[in-house]
């Protein structure tokens, strides 16, 4: 955030849980990627049990744009993102995962694409190329994304990518539920907005461990998908709303 400007243009929201080994380098990379812009960084510690919170607190003097929010109890990635968006001062939000696999250097391009577009474009999502995950995880993701894309018709090939830029006011119009972060394109379209996607890089995880397993994610995804399909069926969009 530029000194003297209480409202940055962009708020970077990063949900983290037990990522002590990744957050210091990640925060510095984000600050470097957005240097020269009006921005803030909100790390949301989702009930970590390690030194994640202490590592971030130690950076506040070094990175004046850094803000640290903390959940008293673990509430999941979607709730952490929502907590960050609610606290954000910027009109534009950029999210990325806290494990360091998303490259912060890709963030400004997503934000610039959103700024350059008409207001009806509410979200620009990243599409990971050359994913640095295990073969099993890549296969499961490909199958899941394919099925979800066909059913929801949201055009998203990689909805699990944490790198997303969106308009804060549009996000706050969406119905909240756990795991909403995986369905933002479909829900934005449901509200009458447009979405777009651009390729981003992907890095191997260097510290910590994944918080998701393929079998557990499959069961939750089926339930969530049914719920989002219901929301789409129950939606009635009036088109443009005009004051007479």
Q: Which CATH architecture has domain 10-233?
A: Alpha-Beta Complex (3.90)
How far, in Å, CA of 162 to CA of 16, rounded? 12
Q: How confident is the model at residue 2 (pLDDT cuts 50, 70, 90)?
A: very low
Angstrom CA distances, 101 to 42, 94, 145, stand at: 18, 15, 19
Q: Mind listing the pLDDT tens digit for each residue in 55-79?
A: 999 999 999 999 999 999 999 999 9
Higher pLDDT among residues 28 and 242, named by residue:
28
Q: Mind listing the pLDDT tens digit for each residue in 112-158?
A: 999 999 999 999 999 998 775 666 666 566 666 667 778 888 988 88
Give residue limits of the domains in the chain.
10-233
Angstrom CA distances, 16 to 8, 44, 81, 164, stand at: 22, 6, 10, 16
Q: Mind listing the pLDDT tens digit for each residue in 208-236?
A: 666 555 555 666 677 888 899 999 888 88
How far, in Å, CA of 40 to CA of 12, rounded? 6
């Amino acid at each position: 955030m530029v000194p003297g400007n209480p409202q940055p243009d962009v708020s970077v929201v990063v949900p983290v849980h037990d990522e002590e080994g990744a957050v210091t380098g990640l925060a510095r990379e984000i600050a470097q990627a957005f240097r020269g812009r009006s921005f803030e960084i909100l790390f949301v510690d989702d009930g970590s049990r390690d030194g994640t919170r202490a590592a971030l607190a130690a950076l506040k003097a070094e990175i004046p744009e850094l803000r640290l929010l903390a959940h008293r109890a673990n509430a999941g990635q979607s709730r952490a993102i929502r907590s960050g968006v609610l606290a954000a001062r910027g009109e534009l939000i950029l999210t990325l995962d806290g494990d360091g696999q998303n490259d912060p250097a890709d963030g400004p391009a997503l934000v610039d694409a959103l700024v350059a577009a008409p207001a009806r474009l509410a979200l620009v999502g990243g599409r990971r190329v050359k994913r640095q995950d295990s073969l099993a995880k890549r296969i499961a993701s490909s199958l899941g994304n394919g099925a979800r894309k066909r059913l929801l018709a949201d055009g998203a090939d990689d909805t699990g990518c944490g790198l997303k830029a969106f308009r804060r006011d549009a996000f706050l119009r969406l119905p909240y539920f756990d795991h909403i972060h995986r369905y933002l394109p479909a829900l934005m379209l449901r509200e009458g907005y447009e979405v777009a996607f651009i390729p981003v890089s992907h890095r191997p995880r260097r510290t910590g461990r994944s918080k998701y397993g393929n079998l557990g994610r499959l069961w939750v995804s089926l339930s969530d998908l049914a719920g989002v399909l219901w929301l789409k069926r129950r939606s009635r969009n009036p088109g443009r709303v005009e004051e007479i």
